[in-house]
Amino acid sequence: MLCIAVNCTSGCQIVNEIPAPAILLSVTVNFTTFAVLQSAQMLFNSIGYLFFLPLTVAAYYTLPRQWRWVLLLIASYLFYAFWNPAYVLLLMASTGVSYFAGIKMSEQRSKPARRPYLFLALAVNLGLLFAFKYLGFFTGTVNQLGSIFGFGQIVPYMSLLLPVGISFYTFQSLGYVIDVYRGSAKAEHHAGLFALYVSFFPQLVAGPIERARNLLPQFREVHEFNPVLFSSGLRLILWGLFKKIVIADRLALLVQPVFGQPEYFHGIQVVIAMPLLMMQVYADFSGYTDIAIGSARLMGFRLSPNFNRPFAAKSIAAFWNRWHITLTTWLRDYVYFSLPSKSGGRVKSWKLNLNLIITFLLVGFWHGANWNFLAFGLLHGIYMALANIFKPELTKFNQISGLARFPKLLSAVNITATFFLICTSGFFFGQHPFSDSLTLIRNITEWSNTSAALLTIVKNNDFLLGTALIVFMLWFEYITMEKSFKPRFQSLPVSLRYAAYMAMFFFMLIFGIFTRQEFFYFQF
């Protein structure tokens, strides 16, 4: 009927029989489709999204309440279909099985009776995730081991094209299913709203990983146009685009060559590349999150925060409480707390530390099916376990050395040490071969041409501008965290506020990198 409303050539009688909301919905979908076709992918930093988002928001506020979830569901599937239409079937399969499992579990009174449906949802969702994300890694590893022990190829090597966002929507579906199984959430009986919960386009491909208790009830709320919420959403989108296009993609110009050809970089070059990598990933991923939260906020939806100034963390544990918060809390609630930690009725510290290492191995493996990310997760798990083991000794050292008497100095030392540990794990954060990580670690010890290399770096305009932008980003996010910032900013004359927005916009146009680079976390 939607296609008929737009494409009918037999007269106006058929069109008149279709409700006005359906016509508006149809026109919106078709115009959005046309706009999307003008860009290669539906990236947040693409021309396609520049058309897609305003049209969707305008249609959302125009349609009656009962039609809005239909619009958002169509828009979300259209958004995802543009990456690869065939993979919409995977999204539907994950959604359908999780919905069915939730309904069936809600009909059972005991956990043992719910368990078969939980296992069904786990098997299907994790099975799809394994097949499309990890199958190539496992078959390749088995064959490598076979070669080492003289067996040759043991199994056929199989690797499938990774569907964008599969790690995110799989975890979101599983979180819902586990909550229903535990009785901490009620099953959603509206199939359309549940499908929208899994596929809501602002956070579909790279999070935040939403919980059902936060997002599902919002789809039943009537969202009237709120100028304050709308303007805050626009500000977040502008800031997220600035971080992505101006900061992250510029830093990528400096970082990508180091990981692309590690044999040519040594000493100071590698030392500088590590913090630049972490800043690039942060600007990229937090920029995406800002755009996602801002896009949802335009329509009155509130997504969960995913970052909270992570580089101000005073420990690795505090860093993960501030970085990719929705993933960390998901693994904490559904993995870490589920691992056995008691022996003879008593909690064993060594088991808690082992559970930390296991959990962070999963953090690494969630990011990617390669040895790099496993090493990244293992390293962070070991850091946290060692911090727990040596906490009494560190406390004594701070007292004996006198650092405890200077809280600000101690905080600065802890922040610096934490950032150093984060940067050391950066060797393994990426899809580059594991051998390249080892090459960089080996090359960092070679300092024979340091003066010339440093001179070349400081003369690089991208490095100078990138460094200044990092300082600006960290400073800006620091001052905006202060409670007094927003009232002070809002009290400024409208002309000054809009001048600040326009300055950021024109700075983005002048210094942005417009080469259509994907967001870093789309590969997960």
**Paired strand residues for 342:** 347
* 242-253 exposure pattern, b = at least 16 Cβ within 10 A, e = fewer: bbbbbbbbbbbe
Instruction: Determine which one of 223, 266, 324, 367 is catalytic.
Output: 367
List, as own/partner pairs, every contact residues 17-24 make where C-beta atoms lie below 8 angstroms and the sequence separation is at least 24, other chains included: 21/63, 21/64, 21/67, 24/59, 24/62, 24/63
The SS3 assignment for 254 reads: helix
Q: How many angstroms separate the CA atoms of 401 and 398, rounded? A: 5
Q: How does 353-376 read in b/e, with b if 16+ C-beta sit within 10 Å? A: bbbbbbbbbbbbbbbbbbbbbbbb
Q: Please indicate whether residue 367 is annotated as part of the active site.
A: yes
SS (HEC) of 316-374: HHHHHCCECHHHHHHHHHHCHHHCCCEECCEECHHHHHHHHHHHHHHHHHHHCCCHHHH
Query: HEC profile for 425-494?
Result: HHHHCCCCCHHHHHHHHHHCCCCCCHHHHHHHHHCCHHHHHHHHHHHHHHHHHHHHCCCCHHHHHHCCCH
Question: How far, in Å, are 59, 65, 218, 219, 428 from residue 222 at the CA level?
Answer: 14, 7, 8, 8, 46
183 φψ region: left (φ > 0), alpha (ψ -120 to 50), beta (else):
left
Give catalytic residue positions.
367
